[in-house]
Structure 1
Amino acid sequence: MKLVDIIKEKGDVVYSVSADATVKDAVDTMVRENIGAVMVMDGKRPIGIFTERDLLKRVCAKCGVLSETPIKEVMTAGVICGSPDDDIQYAINVMTQHRIRHLPICDETGLKGLISIGDILKLMYKSTKEENKMLRNYISNQYPG
């Protein structure tokens, strides 16, 4: 299974803010859309990601003022991206190794989607559930043959 399959399943909508936005702008977007991360974009090019963890570690812990703190000062720069053709195991390895929960999916034209570890788990659970059902049907002789 490829990362593009996850994007097809969940959709390709990615919420973002510009580098000129404030932390409050990013937080407002995250709260409004009930999401844990926003991409920080320069046009179509991702230049960073801002997550709940960034908010806690880089803003709240330092008592920053949300409406005055530029997002570009607290975002995670040097974004690690996956490719639509990468497989899920590769994404799991990258996310585990780098201790990240969100992985932007990019190709040569730009950002294609954003997946979370939760998206991967949902897809894996669905696949395992379907496989389990087929095996139970096979064992109980209910498998179409």
Structure 2
Amino acid sequence: MKIESILATKSSNVITVRPDQSLKDAIELLVEHDIGALIVVDELGQPVGIISERDIIREAARTETVLAQTVARVMTKDLVVAAPQDDLGAILQTMIAGHFRHLPIIDQERLIGVISIRDVLKVQLDEYQGEVDTLTEIIEDQD
């Protein structure tokens, strides 16, 4: 299965933040949209990083003035990304190995979505349930 199959079930609206915005702004966006990470984009809308709930919590543990800090100070700058045609199994391995819960999806140098570990696991669970249902039918038909 390919990532594009997950993207087809999700909103194409990717919530983003700029590097110069405050962590307070980022937190408000995370809460407002009930999401766990934001893609950080430059003035041209190109991804330059990612900031997650965990990144903000780590910064809060280091400094008392966390809300005044900028996104640029806390974001992860070395983005690991995927493409819509990438295999879901390979992406899951990348996410597990890198301890990523969110992965930006880039197509022709354009941000088109974000896949979460929850999205990947839900698809796999649905596939396994389909296999269980098929095997159950086969067993019941033999009785």
Match of 1:104 in 2: 104
Give the partner amino acid of 1:32: E
Cα pair 1:48 1:75 within 8 Å, conserved = yes
TM-score, reference length from structure 1: 0.90
Structure 2 CA distance for aligned equivalents of residues 6 and 57 of structure 1: 30
TM-score, reference length from structure 2: 0.91
Give the partner amino acid of 1:49: I
How much does 1:87 deviate?
A: 0.6
Q: Deviations over 1:73-126 (max 9, x none)?
A: 111111110111111111111111211111111022411110111111111111
Match of 2:89 in 1: 89
Give the partner amino acid of 2:103: L
Aligned residue-pair number: 141
73-82 or 56-65, larger mean C-alpha shift:
56-65
Match of 1:44 in 2: 45
Secondary structure of 1:77's aligned partner = coil
**How large is the Cα RMSD of the aligned pairs?**
1.5
Match of 1:122 in 2: 122
Match of 1:57 in 2: 58
Secondary structure of 2:20's aligned partner = coil
Secondary structure of 1:10's aligned partner = coil
Give the partner amino acid of 2:47: P
Structure 2 CA distance for aligned equivalents of residues 60 and 25 of structure 1: 18
**Off by >4 Å, runs of 4+ in structure 1:** none
Structure 1 CA distance for aligned equivalents of residues 7 and 61 of structure 2: 32
Cα pair 2:59 2:66 within 8 Å, conserved = no
Secondary structure of 1:11's aligned partner = coil
